[in-house]
């Protein structure tokens, strides 16, 4: 993903970390920029809850702006997941209907006067009686 799509005002930095931590994160495909951002947000929230005197209204507004952006992204993600779930529910319902139509049932055929097995979709109450149902 290009930096322009990910950041509004990009700032590049180099950080050092424990080699083992790097190896674990890389194996788990954890993006370092996302991990750094999550860690920074954690520490900033901690400082806010501690009423750190260095937090100016301008710094709080900057943090609020970033949080608002994150909330908008999260809302869009939730909306898409909801729409995805509705689509999956419709597909599952359609599959259930298809299975129901293909279900084989045993009925009494009034014309042949014998039990036969037919797909549920061919069941006709005028010529069939479901096995076990009163005639």
> So what's the pLDDT on residue 69?
82
Return d(Cα 106, Cα 112) in angstroms, integer: 14
Task: List strand residue ranges (DSSP E) for the chain, in order.
Answer: 104-109, 114-119, 128-130
State pTM to two decimals.
0.50
Residue 54 neighbours by CB under 8 Å, 6+ apart = 47
| Whole-number pLDDT of residue 13 | 86
pLDDT of residue 100: 75
3-state SS assignment for residue 42: helix
Helix 32-49, helix 57-102: angle, nearest 10: 120
3-class SS at 135?
coil
Radius of gyration of the chain (CA): 31
106: alpha, beta or left, given left = phi > 0 and alpha = psi -120 to 50? Answer: beta
pLDDT, position 2:
44
User: Given this model, what pLDDT does residue 116 score?
Assistant: 92
The pLDDT tens digits along the chain (135 residues) read 444 467 788 888 888 999 999 999 999 999 998 899 899 999 999 999 999 999 999 999 999 988 888 788 888 889 999 999 999 999 999 988 887 778 888 999 888 889 998 988 888 888 898 887 766
What residues does each domain of the chain span? 17-54, 56-102, 103-135
């Amino acid at each position: 993903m290009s930096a322009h799509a990910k950041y509004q005002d990009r700032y590049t930095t180099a950080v050092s970390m424990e080699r083992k931590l790097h190896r674990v994160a890389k194996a788990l495909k954890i993006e370092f920029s996302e991990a750094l951002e999550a860690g920074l947000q954690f520490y900033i929230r901690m400082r806010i809850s501690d009423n750190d005197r260095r937090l100016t209204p301008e710094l709080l507004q900057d943090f609020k702006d970033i949080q608002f952006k994150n909330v908008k992204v999260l809302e869009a993600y939730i909306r898409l997941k909801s729409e995805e779930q509705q689509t999956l529910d419709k597909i599952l319902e359609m599959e259930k209907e298809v299975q129901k139509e293909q279900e084989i049932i045993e009925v009494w055929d009034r014309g042949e006067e014998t039990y036969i097995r037919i797909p549920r979709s061919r069941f006709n109450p005028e010529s069939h009686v479901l096995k076990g149902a009163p005639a």
